[in-house]
Amino acid sequence: MTANKRTFMVFMGPPGAGKGTQARILQEKLGLPQISTGDLFRYNLKNETELGLLAKSYMDAGDLVPDEVTIRMVEERLTRADCAPGAIFDGFPRNLVQVVALDEMLADEGGLSLVPMLTVDDDEVMRRITGRRICRTCGAVYHVEFNPPKVAGVCDIDGGELYQRDDDKADTVKNRLYVYYKQTSPLVGYYFAKELLAEVDGSQPPAAVTADLLAVLAEHGIAPG
């Protein structure tokens, strides 16, 4: 951990790169909470907070939730006690409007410390995501190549049927990649210009990715402490 300031990082990388996994590992090693926009939305919707109800009104109407609502959720999250040492952002910011808002939120903290970006080529992303299978009964996650069940199509735990989610099908993954590149290209340029971007090969086994991430963080004065 940096000695004199709070540590804030934005994790970047395509879908299936392992951002969530690595953010959770660093959360434990660095003592920094992982702030995922998906988790924030689920929390606010489940608890029917003011922001959750506002987001739901847009979603029920079939509209995109405005940046302002997402930004306010992040602002509220940063006021909680566990963010005292800093935070790891996963899935935020997604566009330049959110980038500027985050810069403003962190202006008094010296801004972001680092933007680690996990790089994984499109073929590997497709292999990782399209191979996922979920148990209809218990929700256990398998992979046809990396973590196959003992019997194809059958959950090891309860014998439930394994299925492929629509989000994990090839056409959907291609679209997710298109959206990712369209949204994040400006962000990559922005953070590169600010000398915050640090690329890490995300195609390696998770333990190797973690080791490389920790080495990059150490180079920037961020270490477990």
Q: Which residues are catalytic?
A: 19, 94, 132, 165, 176
Between strands 34-36 and 115-119, the pairing is unpaired
Spell out the residues 6+ positions from residue 215 whose beta carbon is closer than 8 angstroms to its own.
none
3-state secondary structure of 18: coil
DSSP 8-state code for residue 38: H
**Measured between alpha carbons, how far is residue 60 from residues 64, 70, 186 in Å?**
10, 16, 30
What are the DSSP calls for 182-207, one per residue?
Answer: HHHHHHHHHHHHTT-EEEEETTS-HH
Question: What does DSSP say about strands 141-143 and 132-135: parallel, antiparallel, or unpaired?
Answer: antiparallel
- State how far the alpha carbon of 196 is from the alpha carbons of 8, 25, 61, 112, 172, in Å: 11, 21, 38, 8, 31
**C-alpha to C-alpha distance for 9 and 75, rounded to whole angstroms:** 15
Q: List Cβ neighbours of 38 (8 Å cut-off, separation of 6 or more).
A: 91
Tokens 């980038």, residue? 99
Element (H, E) at 19: helix 19-30
What is the distance between the alpha carbons of residues 189 and 120, in angstroms, rounded to a whole number?
A: 18
